[in-house]
């Protein structure tokens, strides 16, 4: 799937995703085009590490969440502030590692 131009979207986010150990093992790009109701995403699942794409996902309200089509685990798109906070915590914990 091709990524849209930002000015064609009403919502666009790219996030890294953590597995249950708090390690970043996945990534998602999620967007909604202007004048469309459904979201599209390109996902590398942090749990099963499978790649999947979807182009008519219905998300009601924030925080957005949906299930990985491969392993059925919940992918949660948290507030950006939360994930930055979380990442800082991890960085502090693994201060010798350059993430």
Closest approach, Cβ 43 to Zn ion, in A, equals 8
Nearer to Zn ion, 31 or 47 (CB): 47
- The separation between CA 74 and the C-alpha centre of its own chain, rounded to angstroms, equals 11
The residue (of 9 and 17) whose beta carbon lies closer to Zn ion is 17
CB of 49 to Zn ion, least distance (A): 7
Provide, rounded to whole angstroms, the least separation between the CB of residue 78 and Zn ion: 17
Minimum separation from the CB atom of position 54 to Zn ion (A): 12
Nearer to Zn ion, 15 or 33 (CB): 15
Rg, C-alpha atoms of the chain: 14
Rounded to whole angstroms, the Cα distance separating 78 from 75 reads 9
Residue with tokens 């990985």: 68
Are 44 and 15 within 8 A, CB to CB?
no
Of 19 and 83, CB closest to Zn ion: 19
Binding site for Zn ion (CB under 5 A): 45, 47-48, 68, 70-71
Q: Smallest Cα–Cα separation from 29: which of 18, 38, 42?
A: 42
């Amino acid at each position: 799937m091709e990524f849209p131009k930002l000015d064609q979207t009403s919502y666009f986010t790219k996030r890294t995703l953590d597995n249950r150990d708090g390690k970043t093992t996945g990534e998602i790009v999620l967007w909604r085009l202007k004048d469309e109701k459904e979201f599209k995403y390109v996902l590398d699942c942090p749990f099963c590490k499978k790649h999947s794409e979807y182009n008519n996902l219905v998300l009601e309200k924030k925080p957005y969440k949906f299930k990985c089509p491969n392993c059925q685990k919940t992918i949660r798109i948290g507030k950006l502030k939360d994930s930055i906070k979380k990442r800082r915590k991890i960085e502090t914990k693994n201060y010798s590692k350059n993430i």
